[in-house]
């Protein structure tokens, strides 16, 4: 009896062991990644309908696909095999909004993130539909990843094109995309990361702690804010403003540092670098802190976190980093704010203002002759064409050539009695008029003027009507601002500290010297 039991147990164990390889094999077959050979658009549609995590779409011929490629919750490889696949949602249907490639989706509830790894050699072209509501070429959202496999001998190329929306739109924490080049603007938001190995034929928009790296050139403006980082290894060419760094009001976003680095050249038709912000600013900041940093051609530009004023629309300025320590013993935080110290140090470093015996004397009055000398130095001290002045009260001296140059260029005019009154104090409205003439007659620049710029000042009519347009211009660009009581004080005599500040604001606004 015992012998029969042993035999039965042995037979049962043998049967179980014999079945185990079959069960393992069945599991392996069920979980094995599938290779989908795709020859045309129809086969790609069929493959996308059944694709599973870990699958491979193997391209066996070049073709165009006129439907959105949407992936959610899967990680797949796209092997191009030296072919070209063009994806464009030509119908531009409402569901996809004309987006060519969608990885993940920021809908409620959001879809699962997806990963698309493109393996070369070969080219993947994504085109956003130009007549659709959105029309982005590529969306990478909600932690999704678009990557180019760099283990192959010949890397794949991913080219994104959009005439209406973004060529590439990356949004969300851990959302990462790498493409070869784009035609159209790119946008990175909310902790996203985008790498463009080549050129961006469009602008870039990087906000909310996001990162963009461009290996080539950018043909458009650069906009960034709220703790973001932009690195452009090539050149930036813009038909408007070159770089905009916006620092949001603390009531909306945390005002942390944003950084822009341009390793090539920066060319723009108007302001090179502009910093903008909200109406109110934090007051609890030390002078050494800053909101934003822009580096180009080895020069660094900073927006300080010192209290800022509001000029009626957006705060605008560019700050060149001045020498860290003032050469003047009377320039200290005890008597001057950080912005004034920066302006004075900058003016001295650029040879525009000098001092006496280690003192700057910031509260000494600025005369008409002194400011003529300052503008002459700002322009590089050119040799005047006039050999004698047209004014009765000008004699040879330190201001002589400067006054001749200002006279021949229409910057400094005289009075009806034949004098120029060089030693007379310079009121605020006159320094503005001289700056306006320098801007338009010497630099030949367009004067941006808001005709309503003076409306908020109750003393807006307390100076000659002939100087009204220059004052409107100065307020429009933020060179002159109102005082705490809301007045502009056009007749207040200008001192040396105020003159340095006006020059500092102007030259940084227009990137000179």
* pLDDT at position 457: 92
Whether residues 124 and 177 fall in one domain: yes
Last residue of a domain, one of 260, 283, 304: 304
Q: Please report whether residue 435 resides in a domain.
A: yes
Q: Please report whether residue 309 resides in a domain.
A: no
> How many domains does the chain fold into?
2
Q: Please report whether residue 258 resides in a domain.
A: yes
In 3D space, the residue among 463, 168, 379, 116 whose CA is nearest the CA of residue 480 turns out to be 463
Q: Please report whether residue 1 resides in a domain.
A: no
Compute how many other C-beta atoms are within 10 angstroms of the C-beta atom of residue 366.
21
CB 103 within 8 A of CB 113: yes
Whether residues 94 and 243 fall in one domain: yes
Whether residues 363 and 254 fall in one domain: no
Q: What is the tally of helices (H) and strands (E) in the chain? A: 8, 29
Containing structural domain, residue 362: 338-509
* pLDDT at position 355: 86
* 358: alpha, beta or left? (left if phi > 0; alpha if psi -120 to 50): left
Whether residues 131 and 225 fall in one domain: yes
- Please give the full DSSP string across 394-413, using - where no structure is assigned: --SSTTHHHHHHHHHTTSS-
Last residue of a domain, one of 287, 304, 321: 304
Q: Tokens 């987006």, residue? A: 99
Q: Tokens 């007659």, residue? A: 441
In 3D space, the residue among 265, 302, 269, 271 whose CA is nearest the CA of residue 285 turns out to be 302
Whether residues 280 and 361 fall in one domain: no
Whether residues 125 and 245 fall in one domain: yes
* pLDDT at position 75: 95
Whether residues 272 and 350 fall in one domain: no
* pLDDT at position 190: 85
Residue numbers in the chain where pLDDT is lower than 70: 1-32, 91-96, 106-110, 131-134, 152, 226, 240-242, 244-258, 268-325, 509-513
Whether residues 165 and 99 fall in one domain: yes
Q: Please tell me the number of Cα atoms within 13 Å of 478 on its side-chain side.
A: 21
Tokens read off for 405:
């140059």
* pLDDT at position 458: 92
Angstrom distances, CA of residue 25 to CA of 15, 16, 32, 69: 16, 15, 10, 33
The reported pTM is: 0.54
Whether residues 342 and 300 fall in one domain: no
In 3D space, the residue among 427, 435, 425, 410 whose CA is nearest the CA of residue 463 turns out to be 427
Q: Please report whether residue 11 resides in a domain.
A: no
Compute how many other C-beta atoms are within 10 angstroms of the C-beta atom of residue 244.
24
Q: Please report whether residue 199 resides in a domain.
A: yes
Angstrom distances, CA of residue 436 to CA of 5, 456, 469: 111, 21, 9
Whether residues 221 and 365 fall in one domain: no
Whether residues 57 and 102 fall in one domain: yes
Compute how many other C-beta atoms are within 10 angstroms of the C-beta atom of residue 37.
13
Tokens read off for 29:
């077959």
Q: Please report whether residue 417 resides in a domain.
A: yes
Q: Tokens 């109406």, residue? A: 279
Q: CA-CA distance, 359 to 213, in Å (whole number)?
A: 46
Whether residues 289 and 351 fall in one domain: no
Last residue of a domain, one of 279, 304, 329: 304
Q: Please report whether residue 21 resides in a domain.
A: no
């Amino acid at each position: 009896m015992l012998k029969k039991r042993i035999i039965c147990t042995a037979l049962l164990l043998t049967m179980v062991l014999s079945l185990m390889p079959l069960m393992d094999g069945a599991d392996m077959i069920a979980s094995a990644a599938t290779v989908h050979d795709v020859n045309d658009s129809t086969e790609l549609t069929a493959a996308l309908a059944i694709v599973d995590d870990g699958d491979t779409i193997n391209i066996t011929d070049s073709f165009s696909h006129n439907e959105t490629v949407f992936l959610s919750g899967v990680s797949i490889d796209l092997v191009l095999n030296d072919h070209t696949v063009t994806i464009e949602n030509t119908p531009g249907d409402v569901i996809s909004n004309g987006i060519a490639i969608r990885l993940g989706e920021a809908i409620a509830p959001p879809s699962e993130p997806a990963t698309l790894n493109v393996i070369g050699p070969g080219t993947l072209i994504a085109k956003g539909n130009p007549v659709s509501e959105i029309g982005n070429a590529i969306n990478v959202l909600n932690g999704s990843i678009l990557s180019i496999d760099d283990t192959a001998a010949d890397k794949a190329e991913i080219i994104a094109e959009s005439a209406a929306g973004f060529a590439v739109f990356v949004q969300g924490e851990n959302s990462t995309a790498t493409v070869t080049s784009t035609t159209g603007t790119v946008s990175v938001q909310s902790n996203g990361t985008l790498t463009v190995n080549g050129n961006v034929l469009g602008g870039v928009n990087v906000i909310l702690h996001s990162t963009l790296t461009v290996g080539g050139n950018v043909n458009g403006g650069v906009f960034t804010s709220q703790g973001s980082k932009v690195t452009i290894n090539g050149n930036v060419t813009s038909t408007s403003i070159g770089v905009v760094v916006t620092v949001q009001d603390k009531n909306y976003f945390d005002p942390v540092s944003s950084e822009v680095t341009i390793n090539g050249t920066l060319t723009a038709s108007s302001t090179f670098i502009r910093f903008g912000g909200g109406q109110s600013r934090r007051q609890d900041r030390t002078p050494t802190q800053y909101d934003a940093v822009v580096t180009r051609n080895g020069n660094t530009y900073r927006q300080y976190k010192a209290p800022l004023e509001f000029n009626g629309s957006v705060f605008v300025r560019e700050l060149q980093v001045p020498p860290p320590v003032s050469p003047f013993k009377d320039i200290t935080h005890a008597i001057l704010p950080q912005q004034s110290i920066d302006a004075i140090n900058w003016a001295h470093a650029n040879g525009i203002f000098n001092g006496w015996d280690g003192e700057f004397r910031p509260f000494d009055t600025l005369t008409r002759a002194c400011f003529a000398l300052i503008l002459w130095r700002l322009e590089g001290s050119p040799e005047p064409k006039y050999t004698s002045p047209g004014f009765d009260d000008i004699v040879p001296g330190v201001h002589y050539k400067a006054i001749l140059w200002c006279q021949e260029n229409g910057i400094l005019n005289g009075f009806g009695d034949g004098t120029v009154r060089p030693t007379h104090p310079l009121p605020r409205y006159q320094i503005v008029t001289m700056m306006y003439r320098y801007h338009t007659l010497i630099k030949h620049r367009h004067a941006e003027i808001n005709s309503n710029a003076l409306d908020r000042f109750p003393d807006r009519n307390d100076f000659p009507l002939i100087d009204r347009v220059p004052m409107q211009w100065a307020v429009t660009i933020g060179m002159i601002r109102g005082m705490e009581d809301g007045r502009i004080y056009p007749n207040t005599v200008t001192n040396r500290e105020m003159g340095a500040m006006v020059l500092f604001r102007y030259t940084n606004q227009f990137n000179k010297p």
